[in-house]
Amino acid sequence: MAMRTLAFEIGTEELPAFDLHAATLKLEGIVRSAFDAEGIPVGGIEVYSTPRRLAVVVEGVPERTEKIEEVFRGPAAKIAFDADGNPTKAARLASRAARASTRPRSSVATRTEWNTSTP
């Protein structure tokens, strides 16, 4: 998988030297935590600063992440769908909570299940 370099810059009002130093030290940890929280592996992180700008360069960012599939269990099938097979309010709320469409993956043991996946 191809790796990329990500660079971003934050413009600010003029920062005092002591605040600039503290921000520079903390920003690397904040950026690494954000990538870790999303499950994105990264290589090195470098932070640069001037009184009016903070810049971060992240090396080794994958071009794509692995596909993640999750299964969420919803309400009972007889509650989730009406006689015509249309989703009820219960199904719509459950699918919205799972960030999925109201078309279930399957009905297993009279329960509905939704798949969500991220590319």
Dist. CA 21–CA 23, nearest whole Å:
5
Kind plus residue range of the DSSP H or E element containing 53: strand 53-62
Where does residue 110 fall: left (phi above 0), alpha (psi -120 to 50 degrees), or beta otherwise?
Answer: left
Task: Give the pLDDT confidence of 93-115 residue by residue, as tens digits.
Answer: 887 777 665 555 554 444 555 55
Token pair in block for residue 99 = 């960030």
Least confident of 5-19, 21-35, 61-75, 92-106: 92-106
To the nearest whole number, what is the mean pLDDT of the chain? 81
Q: 24: Cβ–Cβ under 8 A, 6 or more apart, which residues?
A: 47, 48, 49, 54
Looking at residue 109, what is its pLDDT? 41
Cβ pair 9, 27 in contact under 8 A = no
- SS3 at position 67: coil
Which pTM was predicted?
0.59
Q: Tokens 């798949």: give the residue.
A: 115
Rounded-to-integer distance, Cα 79 and Cα 57, Å:
51
Digit-coded pLDDT (tens) for 51-70: 999 999 999 999 888 777 77
Higher-pLDDT residue of 76, 30: 30
pLDDT at 113: 57
What is the pLDDT, as a whole number, of residue 75?
Answer: 79
The confidence score (pLDDT) of residue 56 equals 96
pLDDT of the residue at 72: 73
